[in-house]
Amino acid sequence: MTIPVLDFCQPAAAPVFLNFRSEAVRPVCFAIVYWDGPGDTLYAFGDRRDAVASRDMLLERLGSIPAIPTALDQIVQKFGSSQVAEITGRTRRIIRREDGDTIDRFAVESRPGSANIDETRAFMDDEKPILIFSEAGGTGRSYHADLGVKNQRLRLHNLLEAGWRADVAIQGLGRSHRTNQAQQPRFRMVATNVKAERRFLSTIARRLDTLGAITRGQRQTGGQGMFRSEDNLESQYARDALRQFYKLVHAGGIDGCSLEKFEAITGLSLTAQEGGLKDELPPIHTFLNRMLALTIAMQNLLFDAFEQLLAARIEGAIATGVYDKGLETLTADRMTVKNRQLIYTHPVTGAQSHLLTIERMDRNRPMLLADALSLAARDPHAVLMINGKSGRPAVQVPTRSVMLDDGSIQPRVALIRPMAEIRFEMRQLEETNWEAAGEQDFSAAWETEVANLAEFSVSTMHVVSGLLLPIWKLLPQDYCRVYRLQTDEGERIVGRLVSPDGLTRLCRNFGLDKTEVVIDADVWQSLLAGSSVVALAGNMTLRRVRVMNDYRVELNGFTDGMRDRLRSFGLFSEMIAWKVRFFIPTSEEGPAILARLIEQHRIIDVAGRG
């Protein structure tokens, strides 16, 4: 085989690599052409035998890999057509012959037009325990545990492919969850551990949110609670995290993937002509699409960095109370309206707005000691802990680390308590009183705390319901969260939740008496959180202070003659810097002691701490 003679019109600054394919000879011929200037020699090289051998070896390996059946074929061939009812648009399929032979034999089966009707009947009559349906069977049929059919068993609805169309996905989800059913289905999302697969979940999650917002005025109704808000990778939090991710890549902050390598494997350009980061960066959907073309290891590397940035932004928004989940539903064992105050009446329509004081009761379901010890045994990095000051137990386990804006990783741990989970940065944990403990001491402390827990936890919340738009600007703007709940009397309430700190401002804006709506439990929680200062009759105040690296609730403004009375209420005193100071214990006795104090010295005001 000869190499064609090339005629160049202008010199090239670098070698030009050319590939020629001959019809007579199958191997690829590689030619390297150099141009030194007019009249110089053209250098060319022939076949690369090693490259040809590598290519042939790769083709042989690909040809020896068996074809992977689709999920539909795998299920039908695994369990057999006698066990699986298939409701799809297929007219032919490959099935495993069930003739009792030890050798698997497959055959092509033709399906008539009435096959879907027969398969539906077989499933509902309990002749076949498994049913698979595609878009062709996603409308016009019911697969729920109907009271009028024989098969009323629990439906385990596994969603293999959500698809791209939100309306079709809604139709499919509604086939197994309908009226007149013996029991509700259980939905399961099926996904692999390939990181880039989240690109498909993200798209359908966003479209379901949009469909729910358009059709029902609430975005969560689109997905029926199937998807979490974190599954939507096209949210504002994800866009902010992606921009920070690009900054890290550009600055070389991603170990294992330099800027040059990232741009080469993804085809995304991040660098401007002057060398800095571009102002217009690739959008999130382009980034997700390019991730699909990467190796699994590189997907994991890049997605781990991106997800850490995303988690840090979401957790930060949750901690500050600005994370928007849309309309949330509150559930509890009991909800009772304790007080209802009219705060606004529209002058034209007569519509009203009310401030509701709702008592919420939740059953305590602590983690048992056996579960705590099992958790510690499963994790080799788990540590049994006891707080040296309070005596409270916890199981320390590693949790998701947080990537800071500069690319550094902040390791964190979670303390699993009987009724809560607390997360600390490692450096923060070192400043606390938590210490490693033996299993015997840990078990005794855990059992004691669980035994002392009440059966129910009672809390109080304030909700503004009714007409909201005309008074929206008069409501506290630092806690704009809307909730839906149902009381024990069957009353359905949708309204704005008012934090204890914002209650003072709300009462001031609407001319309400603050003392009529303040609840002792709210006051105690706000004091523990350090978010408010409570003014009591007698020119006294309660606030959270830090003493000896520990938070306490301190009473200020008392007189010398009140010391014995305060001690009788349950307060304790300490001499600090030659001054007597009184504190309310932050233990379980704290709310009762506060109630006795308020009984004698009523609350004048609850103000937020600036």
Q: What is the distance between the terminal CA atoms of the chain, rounded to a whole angstrom?
A: 84
CA separation for the pair 249, 215 (Å, rounded): 40
Q: Are residues 143 and 206 in the same domain?
A: no
Please list the ranges in the chain whose pLDDT falls under 50: 1-36, 40-46, 213-224
Q: Are residues 346 and 472 in the same domain?
A: yes
Four-point Cα dihedral 211, 213, 219, 224, nearest 10: -50
Residue 223 lies in a domain: yes
Q: Please count the helices (runs of H) and the strands (runs of E) in the chain.
A: 17, 27
- In what helix (H) or strand (E) does residue 320 lie, and over which residues does it extend? helix 296-320
CA separation for the pair 281, 290 (Å, rounded): 14
Instruction: Give pLDDT, residue 246.
Output: 92
- pLDDT, tens digit, 9 for 90 and up, residues 184-223: 888 887 778 888 777 677 666 666 665 554 444 444 444 4
* Neighbour-count burial for 172-201, b at 16+ CB within 10 Å, e otherwise: bbebbbeeebeeebebeeeeeeebbebbbb
Q: In the 8-state DSSP scheme, what is residue 422?
A: E
Q: State the amino acid at position 468 in one-letter form.
A: L
Q: Which tokens hold the place of 270?
A: 């991040």
For residues 151 and 123, is the Cβ–Cβ distance under 8 A? Answer: yes
Q: Are residues 134 and 54 in the same domain?
A: no
Q: Which tokens hold the place of 366?
A: 């602590």
Instruction: Give pLDDT, residue 514.
Output: 59
- pTM of the prediction? 0.58
Instruction: Give pLDDT, residue 5.
Output: 41
* 3-state helix/strand/coil string of 349-416: CCCEEEEEEEEEEEECCCCCHHHHHHHHHHCCCCEEEEECCCCCEEEEEECCCEECCCCCEECEEEEE
The contacts found for 154-161 with CB under 8 angstroms, 24 or more apart, are 154/183, 154/185, 154/186, 155/185, 155/186, 156/185, 156/186, 156/188, 157/185, 157/186, 157/187, 157/188, 158/188, 158/190, 159/187, 159/188, 159/189, 159/190, 159/226, 160/71, 160/190, 161/71
Instruction: Starting at the earlier edge strand, list the strands of the sheet with 328-329.
Output: 328-329, 482-486, 492-498, 456-466, 352-363, 334-345
Q: Which tokens hold the place of 227?
A: 């998807």
Q: Are residues 110 and 201 in the same domain?
A: no
Residue 2 lies in a domain: no
Residue 42 lies in a domain: yes
Final residue belonging to a domain, choices 189, 223, 243: 189
Instruction: Give pLDDT, residue 206.
Output: 65
Residue 9 lies in a domain: no
Instruction: Give pLDDT, residue 464.
Output: 92
Q: Are residues 483 and 347 in the same domain?
A: yes
Instruction: Give pLDDT, residue 608.
Output: 66
Q: Are residues 276 and 392 in the same domain?
A: no
Q: Are residues 333 and 311 in the same domain?
A: no
User: Phi and psi dihedrals of 254, rounded to 5?
Assistant: -105, 110
Q: Are residues 235 and 303 in the same domain?
A: yes
Q: Considering only the C-alpha atoms of the chain, give the largest distance between any 2 of them, rounded to a whole number of Å.
A: 112
CA separation for the pair 296, 61 (Å, rounded): 20
* CATH code where residue 171 lies: 3.40.50
Final residue belonging to a domain, choices 157, 189, 221: 189
Instruction: Give pLDDT, residue 37.
Output: 52
Residue 1 lies in a domain: no
Q: Is the dihedral of CA 386, 387, 393, 394 positive or negative?
A: negative
Name the pairing type of β-strands 130-133 and 84-87: parallel
Instruction: Give pLDDT, residue 16.
Output: 39
Q: Are residues 490 and 525 in the same domain?
A: no
Instruction: Give pLDDT, residue 555.
Output: 92
- Counting the structural domains of the chain, the total is 6
Residue 5 lies in a domain: no
CA separation for the pair 209, 47 (Å, rounded): 57
Four-point Cα dihedral 270, 276, 280, 283, nearest 10: 30
Q: Are residues 540 and 507 in the same domain?
A: no
Residue 210 lies in a domain: yes
Q: Are residues 152 and 284 in the same domain?
A: no
Complete DSSP assignment for 37-60: STTPPPP---B-HHHHHHHHHHHH
Q: Which tokens hold the place of 50?
A: 């090693």
CA angle 574, 579, 580 (to 5 degrees): 40
Instruction: Give pLDDT, residue 538.
Output: 79
Please state whether 180 falls in left (phi above 0), alpha (psi between -120 and 50) or beta: left
CA separation for the pair 579, 585 (Å, rounded): 19
* Neighbour-count burial for 100-122, b at 16+ CB within 10 Å, e otherwise: eeeeeeeeeeebeeebbeebbeb
Final residue belonging to a domain, choices 486, 516, 546: 516
Print the domain residue range for 45. 16-62
For residues 383 and 394, is the Cβ–Cβ distance under 8 A? Answer: no
Q: Are residues 358 and 235 in the same domain?
A: no
Reduced to 3 states (helix: H, G, I; strand: E, B; else coil), residue 342 is strand
Instruction: Give pLDDT, residue 26.
Output: 42
Residue 128 lies in a domain: yes
